[in-house]
Amino acid sequence: MFKPCCWVLFIGILLLGFGDLADSQSVNSSLYVVTRNNYSEGTSTVRFGDLIMISIIPETVQPGSTAYPVGEHFALFTGGERRGDVTIDTVKPLACDSSAAIVSTEPSVKISGDTMGLATNLQNAPNTHANRQRAASPAEIAAAGQVAVREFQKRGVLRASVDNIQSGRFTVTQIGNGSAKIIAGNFMFIEPNGVGHSMFVIASAGDAKSPPQWSRYDMFDASFPPGPAGFKSPVKFVDQLDFDRDGRDEIVIQAEGSETLEFLAIRFEDGSWRQLWKGGQSGC
């Protein structure tokens, strides 16, 4: 079972629109999210804290799939920067209808806590660059909060304000060399009756007046007691990587419900963000 701290009622549109990428690569090409497991745990499944790799190309990996070849090495990236390799050690169930690989890294590579990365065996290796990500400042989060409040209100959540929304982890980054800085992260507003509202935004860093470049709204059940770190954001920024080698990174986002998990990727083109691919679906 997935942890019931946040029940996403309306998942909306999701994840990685990499149809173009998948079409341009060999059928054996794969793309994965690499993270510490905090999704689910069972007697025969992956354990909390395991370093795991979840396939998002192919979209869904059923138990027994060959998408996780034990012993194979995959190129690892965090923040668009090559970090070495990950190696598949074993494969175990992740949820009722999916599997994940338990992986190891080279000794010099450390992935802990909330760090998430991307791994691939793409024949045409993605463009790599120095990691441009940093934690957002309080002022940048406050500016993004004003953007999020306006988005909440557009969707009828009129009681949301900068004084009562909760902020999750926010990342400031650039998707291209010399491009403008953007901020990405999630805000939540929780009503007294336990109805939760989530707003993930990508906005110009430090700009409180302009509309978001991209946003996603979800409702969730917040009637369960929060975990030690508070309510878990249903949607969050995963990482970035220039999959299609056009000089601009795509962004991968995670959406998690009470018993569901998906990843999506979005690409900036023609002045706006659009969804490319949805993958990594699992649930019970």
193 contacts: CB under 8 Å, gap ≥ 6: none
pLDDT bracket for residue 283 (50, 70, 90): low
The helix/strand/coil state of 231 is coil
DSSP 24: H
What is the pLDDT at residue 43? Answer: 74
Residue 75: which H helix or E strand, with range? Answer: strand 73-78
pLDDT digits (tens, 9 = 90+) for 192-236: 888 999 999 999 999 999 999 999 999 888 876 555 455 567 889
Using an 8 Å Cβ cutoff, are 201 and 144 in contact?
yes
2 assigned to some structural domain: no
What is the pLDDT at residue 139? Answer: 98
Residue 91 has pLDDT above 60, yes or no: yes
Residue that has been written with the tokens 């957002």 in this structure = 136
Q: Which residue type does 111 have?
A: I
Residue 66 has pLDDT above 80, yes or no: no
172 assigned to some structural domain: yes
- Structural domain range at position 263: 7-283
1 assigned to some structural domain: no
39 assigned to some structural domain: yes
pTM of the model: 0.84
pLDDT bracket for residue 97 (50, 70, 90): confident
pLDDT bracket for residue 35 (50, 70, 90): very high
Backbone φ and ψ for 110, nearest 5 degrees, come out as: -120, 125
What is the number of domains present in the chain? Answer: 1
